[in-house]
Amino acid sequence: MEYRVAATVEEALALLGGRDGSRPVAGGTDLAVVLADGLAAPPLLVDVAGIPALRGVRRTADGIAIGPATTIAEIAARPDLPACLCQGARAIGSPQIRNLATVGGNVCNASPCGDTLSPLVALDAAFVLASRSGTRTVPAEQFFVGPKKTVLRPGELLVEIRIAPARLAGRSAFRMIGKRNGQVISQVNAAVWLALEGGVIREARVAVGSVAPVPLRLKAAEALLAGRSARGLDVEPVLARADAEIAPISDVRASLEYRRLVTGSLLRDALLEAAGI
Ligand SMILES: Cc1cc2nc3c(=O)[nH]c(=O)nc-3n(C[C@H](O)[C@H](O)[C@H](O)COP(=O)(O)OP(=O)(O)OC[C@H]3O[C@@H](n4cnc5c(N)ncnc54)[C@H](O)[C@@H]3O)c2cc1C
């Protein structure tokens, strides 16, 4: 296997598009495990972690642009990013993992339990994908198509994650549960984003992870939240709607019954925090 370090996006795209089966690598915290287990054998790995254009968080006229090679540790520490995304980043692994792992790697790995996925879906983030033949923008909600499956085409690179100003103006919160507090993959996670106006929820976006093949938006629960007063919010009917929308399975991390039970608790906590209660 050949390993090339790209200095620019153009160089990375030329390398990725030049040989079938080539894969980008950023922090390598997911890919190294896949390679060590013999589950993939790409002929070429293109290291994109050091490309300046893919790193950091910038304010733009369209809100905030996050470079996919920004580390999870950096995302966790940014006061200008929505709370649910920072909280999701803080929930990932250990300090060592967070210093290497990137937000783009978390997104493109597309594990249903990835801790930045439900926040990015709740925030209605847009992913800019580039290849040698041009760029396209895909809403986070349409990017994930199955466990570890995305709409990324061969030779395509995630080059930017965008969050619109309206979403930055809302309030949000994230919760996860795992078998212990640190270095653990979520059994369930939940992100809530609310737009509040005079104490009334004008719009709500709710997404949960690890209870369906992809991070799942709970549209029926959202509909019940819209127009409600945040003060004294009765969350029980919302949780009942959420329960009807999820489709958890049992696996090595948790049973489906447990996942159902804790989804309600996580959503309740995230909702109350986002509503400022
Ligand atoms: C011990 C341990 C604990 C962990 N704990 C958690 C946890 O609590 N929560 C959690 O969500 N995850 C966890 N992870 C998984 C992993 O750390 C994260 O998913 C991380 O964000 C992956 O980022 P990376 O840069 O290391 O990705 P990489 O391993 O470099 O890449 C992952 C995938 O994304 C692709 N990719 C990377 N960048 C791009 C790009 N710009 N464009 C297109 N494709 C790209 C790669 O080809 C690969 O398929 C853990 C991993 C380990 C080893």
Give the residue whose CA is nearest to atom 14 of ligand 1: 93
Domain annotation covers residue 24 = yes
Predicted pLDDT at 232: 85
Domain annotation covers residue 197 = yes
Q: What is the CATH number of the domain that holds 210?
A: 3.30.390.50
Number of domains in the chain: 2
Predicted pLDDT at 187: 87
Domain annotation covers residue 244 = yes
Its domain, for residue 29, covers 1-47
Domain annotation covers residue 184 = yes
Predicted pLDDT at 178: 85
Q: Which of 10, 31, 47 is the last residue of a domain?
A: 47
Domain annotation covers residue 198 = yes
- Pick the atom of ligand 1 nearest to 31's CA: 29
- Pick the atom of ligand 1 nearest to 71's CA: 25
Domain annotation covers residue 268 = yes
Residue 172's φ and ψ, nearest 5 degrees, are -145, 165
Q: Is 99 in the pocket of ligand 1 (CB under 6 A)?
A: no
Buried b (16+ CB within 10 A) or exposed e, 48-77: bbebeebbebeeeeebbbbbbbbbbbbbbe
Domain annotation covers residue 255 = yes
Q: What is the CATH number of the domain that holds 21?
A: 3.30.43
Predicted pLDDT at 184: 73
Q: Which ranges of the chain have pLDDT less than 50?
A: none
Domain annotation covers residue 151 = no
Q: Is 63 in the pocket of ligand 1 (CB under 6 A)?
A: no
For residue 214 the two structure tokens come to: 């992809």
Exposed/middle/buried for residue 156 (C-beta within 10 Å: 0-12, 13-18, 19+): buried
